[in-house]
Chains A and B, each alone.
Chain A
Amino acid sequence: MTKSWWKITSFVLLIYTVTGGFLLDVPRLPILNETIRNLYFHVAMWFAMTILFSISFFYSIRYLRRFDLRDDIFARHFASAGCLFGILGYITGFIWVSVTWVADQGQSLSGVIREPKLIFAAIGLLIYGAYFVLRGSFTDIDKRAKTSAVYSIFAYVMLFVTMFIIPRIVEGSLHPGGKGGQGGNPALNFKDIDSRLRMVFYPAVLGWTLLGVWIATLRIRTQLITDKPLLHTTHKN
């Protein structure tokens, strides 16, 4: 956790993302034009969110296997870092929407809210919101850790099932890779994304994710210090 190489990597990658993202050449499609640069920020946020939630899920399972309160602290802070990136994803998405779909395509905002990907993101944020409310309602730390781990495992599985269900219910999507395309996520599909974009996009995803992990670990470390007496006693048992 205290090793610094990955923090330096994150820093360098993000410097590259910001400078390269704004200065390197990008393909200009109608309507999108230069806004495609938002790919490095908006889409990367969602990737980071999903990865951070998955790390939180992993620690929740580990808590139920070992009952070590440290795992609970990890799960909690990775979830909150994931939420932060989810909110940032919404903000960057909102900026993107307002200059493309709303301004150029004449879509209404209420139409945009029914987007499959937005529904998925909203469910994700609601679930982790509920997770924090649940945590807040306990005074006993062991009970809190156990119950919230159960909820987060259940909710995470349901969330990822949702990802496959929603495209079947909500027809059409403004996002690329919806019904019209080959399906799946175009950012992951090698054929759908221009190689010029890939040059910055993959480093951006890695950089943002590492930043998220960095934020989470800082908070985990402070909590581990403040909770030291508690952890010590529970660990002995």
Chain B
Amino acid sequence: MFTSITALVKKDILLELRQQHTFYGILLYIASTIFVLSLSVDEPDAKAWNGIFWVIQLFICVNAVAKSFLQEGRGRMLYYYTLVHPAAFIVAKLLYNLVLMLFMSIVSLLLYTLFIGNPLSNIVQFIGIAVLGGISISLVFTLMSAIAAKAQHNAALMAILGFPVILPLLLLLMRLSRTAFNEVFKEGAVLQLTGLIIGLDALIIAMAVILFPYLWKD
């Protein structure tokens, strides 16, 4: 089980290194989105800054994760089917996308503060929240990508499926990130929100592992 997970993650990383155009494509997507934004909204207030940041994360994730199942052709999926357990396969995909999205989140946060300004009062805390957010968003969209891949490889479908499902998580994240803007929370509220997000992530992983085997059999 563990060996197959690591092998699959390694394979995805190797594929990424060999086909670097998609990786740079996403980086370019991040850079151009933030550049366009910086030209249209110079120095937004804290609330708008926070909102725009999370919406950007959402779209980056759709683009970064979209290809994870779409790139696997029918034949290759059949090959995996003979080799590994479906739970191992989905866990490997979740892990890989998590790492990818983590990287993209950090890069986008860096560019975002550089181009659009930095109203944060506690940057370390916000980095932590961005990491947590990147993980959560990538988990949901990995499963959505697996579903959308079944439907004629449609990336737009993935966004339609994912947005209503991600909404509660996104609201939680936006609420939590207000603590990094010096907003005073009730005692224990920050911990509670963080706990809720982590709990939701655990739920998503559990459901992905339970439900994926059904998607996988044809």
A residues adjacent to B (C-beta < 8 A)? 64, 119, 123, 126-127, 129-130, 133-134, 137-138, 143, 146-147, 149-151, 153-155, 157-158, 161-162, 165-166, 168-170
Decide if B200 touches A127 in the complex (CB within 8 Å): no
Contact B168 A137 (CB under 8 A): no
Distance of A10 Cα from B172 Cα, bound (Å): 41
Residues of chain B at the chain A interface (Cβ within 8 Å): 143, 147, 150-152, 154, 157, 160-161, 163-165, 167-168, 171-172, 175, 192-193, 196, 200, 203-204, 207, 211, 214-215, 217-218
Q: Are A130 and B161 in contact (CB under 8 A)?
A: yes
In the complex, A150 Cα to B150 Cα: how many Å?
A: 11
Q: Which residues of B contact A157 (CB under 8 A)?
A: 203, 207
Are B168 and A168 within 8 A (Cβ)? no
Separation of A112 and B202 alpha carbons in the complex (Å): 32
Q: From B160, which residue of chain A is reached at the shortest CB distance?
A: A130
* Inter-chain contact A150/B214, CB cutoff 8 Å: yes
A143, A153, A155, A168: the one contacting B164 at CB < 8 Å is A155
Assess the B168–A165 pair: CB atoms within 8 A: yes
Q: Are A123 and B211 in contact (CB under 8 A)?
A: no
Given A134-B160, A150-B147, 7 other A-B contacts at CB below 8 A? A146-B217, A147-B150, A154-B165, A157-B203, A158-B168, A158-B204, A170-B171
Query: Do residues B163 and A154 form an inter-chain contact, with CB atoms below 8 A?
Result: no
Closest A residue to B206 by CB, please name it.
A157
Can you list 20 A-B pairs with a CB-CB distance of less than 8 A? Answer: A119-B171, A126-B163, A126-B164, A133-B161, A134-B147, A137-B157, A138-B151, A138-B152, A143-B150, A146-B217, A147-B150, A150-B214, A150-B215, A154-B143, A154-B207, A157-B203, A161-B168, A161-B203, A165-B172, A170-B171
Q: Return B70 CB to nearest CB of chain A, in Å.
A: 14
